[in-house]
């Protein structure tokens, strides 16, 4: 009995506590990302943004969640009910499970697995199913068109994203996320691999269906794309999942190119701040660029989007993979 | 060990059940979704075997890319599957025969592994130590160093197949107006705007 308690129960409780330590801050981060997005875009467009609920509107997100909780979940008559309900859950769950492998500080990670970056890539490539299932199950033309666009878009940009990741991995020599961050002690990869960092960032915009690539939910053409038929909490799950995905993609960018939890330089004023705080600051900076891009750019046309993915990013990142490999071998830099 | 066994039975049961549902489901989209579930659970089995790289590869390649395109096609096609399904009982014996042959072959494979004379030698052949070489690295050594020519040949065959598919499906059509980005970029104000003197009541 004691053995059972020691081997199974305590580790289980310990892991559950760690999971809560990841999930609760993530929920808060999503709530304040939504709030700050509205506030920042408001300021960029010379409006006030949310300012009624609490001082500077800081309780706005919680008020929105409460409102959505109290509303009725509507099931369309022609919908495929089970798939219709599974789709938002899938999006939500996938956005959260990816966090199991992300190291926010030295040793601050739930599962430090060998193939961390592959795991992240696999989970983010599954994200498309939530959207496609939602679009198909809604039995609505707008939803279906949104889902089709999203599927094509995410599959196209995943390829160049994969090649960018390969470039970084060749420099590191490991698939472990902690190793990837540690390898950037001398120089962050954004310096030698700047074009790849740009390609990666733009691909993450497309992968998370954010402006200027938000064709799957383009209001002017498709009402709300795959979300058209969703209401109340089923919509909220999509919404939270999407924003959690944005944070996840930003942390992926930070880990691959901006040195994770490492300070910019290992000298006095910088290394006073603890690692996780640096990680948070960098993620927030990337998220600001996400929001900035939304305020600054008009939506891409669909053929332009495909052209950018297949005819510009794919050849470019392929060339960089070959070029980086060549440089690493020629100067004997390969790890 | 108990957790390990429980996880194995869970994944294995899900693989078998969803594989059955792929064939049995009435709606073709449901079939594809069950197929995806089967792939995903198979990845779970790989993780239990300690082949974490293969597991992730299975999810990235099959679930994340191949099955998406598959789902895409099945959703777009408007096939009358009720009519397609009518002959299902006629084909049942053939299906059973194929299944039986595969089962027998699997059994023989297992038998060969137990009774074969060279197996003992092959099982003791040097394997990289799991503590020193991760299985990603071991796979890389095997594919890109030891069997590099075979790997390149496989790549070449796939390339030829891809070019063949493009050549077969690509047809040149007349009268298509294509966007030429270079022309658009090269356009200047002088080509586009022209000043005209318009006399009152004259028009252009």
DSSP result, A113-159: -TTHHHHHHHHHHHHHHHHHHHHHHTT-HHHHHHHHHHHHHHHHHHH
Given a contact cutoff of 8 angstroms between Cβ atoms, the answer to whether A147 and B57 are in contact is no
Of A121, A128, A175, the CB nearest to B68: A128
Of B29, B30, B53, the CB nearest to A118: B53
Distance (Å, rounded) from C-alpha B54 to C-alpha B62? 11
pLDDT digits (tens, 9 = 90+) for B57-113: 888 888 888 888 888 888 877 666 666 666 677 778 888 899 899 999 999 888 887
Q: For residue B146, is pLDDT > 90?
A: no
Query: A263 in helix, strand or coil?
Result: coil
The residue of B75, B134, B137, B179 whose CB has the most chain A CBs within 10 angstroms, and thus the best one to mutate to test that interface, is B75
- From the CA of A267, how many Å to the nearest CA of chain B? 35
Query: A43 in helix, strand or coil?
Result: helix
Which tokens is A237 given?
Answer: 């799950």
Please report the pLDDT score of residue B126 as a whole number. Answer: 63
**A81-97 helix and A232-257 helix, angle to the nearest 10 degrees:** 30
For chain A (335 residues), the mean pLDDT of every run of 10, in chain order, is 74 86 89 90 88 85 88 83 88 89 83 85 87 86 85 85 90 86 86 90 88 78 80 86 90 89 78 83 91 88 86 91 90 78
Angstrom distances, CA of residue A136 to CA of A78, A79, A142, A214, A222: 11, 9, 10, 18, 14
Choose among A199, A129, A194: nearest CA to A161. A199
Question: Using CB atoms within 10 A of its CB, is residue A39 exposed (0-12), middle (13-18) or buried (19+)?
Answer: buried
The residue of A114, A134, A318, A329 whose CB has the most chain B CBs within 10 angstroms, and thus the best one to mutate to test that interface, is A114
For residue A177, the chain B residues in CB contact (below 8 A) are none
In sequence order, the 6+-apart residues with CB closer than 8 A to the CB of A32 are A58, A61
For residue B64, the chain A residues in CB contact (below 8 A) are 122, 125-126, 128, 158
Which tokens is A159 given?
Answer: 């390829």
Residue A97 sits at φ, ψ, to 5 deg, of: -65, -25
Given a contact cutoff of 8 angstroms between Cβ atoms, the answer to whether A237 and A91 are in contact is yes
Distance (Å, rounded) from C-alpha A205 to C-alpha A194? 17
User: Does the structure's ipTM exceed the value 0.85?
Assistant: no
Choose among A249, A319, A325, A335: nearest CA to A290. A249
Q: For residue B150, is pLDDT > 90?
A: yes
Whether residue B36 lies within 8 A of chain A, CB to CB, comes out as yes
- From the CA of A74, how many Å to the nearest CA of chain B? 22
Q: For residue B132, is pLDDT > 80?
A: no
Whether residue B132 lies within 8 A of chain A, CB to CB, comes out as no
∠A188-A190-A196 over CA atoms, to 5°? 140
Which tokens is B5 given?
Answer: 């066994």
Distance (Å, rounded) from C-alpha B147 to C-alpha B136? 15
* Mean pLDDT, residues B37-42 taken together: 90
Whether residue B30 lies within 8 A of chain A, CB to CB, comes out as yes
Report the first-to-last Cα separation within chain A, whole angstroms.
48
Place of tokens 């889902």: A147
The residue of A94, A118, A130, A304 whose CB has the most chain B CBs within 10 angstroms, and thus the best one to mutate to test that interface, is A118
The radius of gyration of chain B's CA atoms, rounded to the nearest angstrom, is: 29
Put simply, the answer to whether B52 touches A158 (Cβ < 8 Å) is no
Angstrom distances, CA of residue A66 to CA of A27, A70, A169, B65: 14, 6, 43, 37
- From the CA of B135, how many Å to the nearest CA of chain A? 9
Q: For residue B129, is pLDDT > 70?
A: no
∠A214-A218-A224 over CA atoms, to 5°? 115
Choose among A88, A225, A146, A129: nearest CA to B71. A129
Confidence of residue B162 (pLDDT cuts 50, 70, 90): very high
In sequence order, the 6+-apart residues with CB closer than 8 A to the CB of A120 are A98, A101, A102, A177, A248, A252
In sequence order, the 6+-apart residues with CB closer than 8 A to the CB of A230 are A88, A134, A138, A238
Which positions 59-118 of B are in contact with A (Cβ < 8 Å)? 59-60, 63-65, 68-69, 71-72, 75-76
Choose among B131, B52, B49, B3: nearest CA to A11. B3
User: How many contiguous H segments (helices) and E segments (strands) does chain B have?
Assistant: 11, 0
Of B57, B63, B75, the CB nearest to A136: B75
Which letter does DSSP use for residue A192 in this model? T
Put simply, the answer to whether B75 touches A125 (Cβ < 8 Å) is no
Q: A246-266 as b/e, with b when 16 or more CB fall inside 10 Å?
A: bbbbbbbbbbbbbbbbbbeee
Of B27, B60, B134, the CB nearest to A122: B60
Put simply, the answer to whether A132 touches B63 (Cβ < 8 Å) is no
Report the first-to-last Cα separation within chain B, whole angstroms.
89
Instruction: Answer with the residue of higher pLDDT: A303 or B39.
Output: B39
Given a contact cutoff of 8 angstroms between Cβ atoms, the answer to whether B7 and B37 are in contact is no
């Amino acid at each position: 009995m004691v053995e059972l308690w020691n081997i199974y129960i305590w580790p289980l409780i310990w892991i559950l506590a760690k999971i809560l330590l990841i999930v609760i801050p993530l929920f808060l981060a999503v709530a304040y990302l939504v709030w700050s997005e509205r506030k920042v875009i408001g300021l960029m467009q010379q409006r006030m943004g949310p300012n009624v609920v609490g001082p500077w509107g800081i309780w706005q997100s919680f008020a929105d969640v409460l409102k959505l909780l109290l509303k009725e979940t509507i099931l369309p008559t022609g919908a495929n009910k089970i798939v219709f309900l599974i789709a938002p859950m899938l999006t939500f769950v996938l956005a959260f499970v990816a966090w199991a492998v992300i190291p926010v500080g030295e040793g601050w990670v739930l599962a430090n697995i060998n193939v961390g970056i592959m795991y992240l890539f696999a989970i983010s490539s599954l994200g498309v199913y939530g959207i496609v299932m939602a679009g198909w199950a809604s039995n609505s033309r707008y939803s279906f068109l949104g889902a089709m666009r999203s599927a094509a878009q995410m599959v196209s940009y995943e390829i160049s994203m994969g090649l960018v990741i390969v470039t970084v991995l060749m420099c590191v020599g490991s698939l472990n996320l902690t190793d990837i961050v540690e390898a950037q002690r001398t120089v962050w990869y954004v310096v030698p691999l700047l074009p790849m960092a740009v390609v990666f960032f733009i691909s993450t915009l497309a992968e998370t269906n954010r402006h200027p690539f938000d064709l799957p939910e383009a209001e002017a053409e498709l009402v709300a794309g795959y979300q058209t038929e969703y209401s109340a909490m089923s919509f909220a799950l999509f919404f939270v999942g999407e924003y959690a995905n944005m944070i996840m993609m930003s942390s992926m960018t930070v880990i691959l190119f901006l040195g994770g939890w490492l300070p910019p330089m290992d000298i006095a004023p910088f290394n006073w701040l603890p690692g996780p705080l640096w990680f948070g600051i960098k993620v927030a900076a990337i998220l600001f660029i996400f929001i900035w891009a939304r305020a600054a750019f008009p939506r891409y046309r669909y053929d332009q989007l495909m052209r950018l993915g297949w005819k510009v990013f794919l050849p470019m990142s392929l060339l960089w993979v070959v070029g980086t490999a060549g440089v690493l071998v020629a100067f004997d830099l390969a790890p | 060990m108990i957790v390990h066994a429980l996880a194995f039975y869970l994944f294995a049961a899900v693989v078998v059940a969803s594989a059955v549902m792929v064939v049995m489901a009435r709606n073709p989209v449901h079939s594809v979704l069950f197929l995806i579930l089967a792939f995903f659970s198979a990845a779970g089995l790989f993780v239990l075997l300690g082949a974490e790289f293969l597991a992730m590869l299975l999810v990235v390649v099959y679930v994340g890319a191949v099955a998406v395109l598959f789902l895409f096609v099945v959703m777009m096609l408007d096939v009358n599957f009720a009519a397609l399904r009518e002959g299902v009982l006629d084909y049942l014996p053939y299906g059973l025969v194929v299944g039986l042959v595969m089962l027998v072959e699997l059994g023989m494979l297992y038998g060969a592994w137990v009774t074969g004379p060279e197996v003992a030698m092959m099982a003791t052949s040097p394997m990289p130590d799991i503590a020193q070489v991760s299985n990603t690295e071991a796979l890389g050594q095997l594919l890109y160093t030891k069997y590099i020519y075979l790997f390149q040949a496989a790549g070449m065959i796939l390339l030829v197949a891809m070019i063949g598919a493009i050549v077969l499906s690509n047809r040149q059509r007349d009268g298509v107006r294509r966007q030429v980005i270079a022309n658009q970029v090269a356009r200047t104000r002088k080509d586009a705007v022209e000043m005209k003197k318009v006399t009152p009541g004259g028009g252009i």
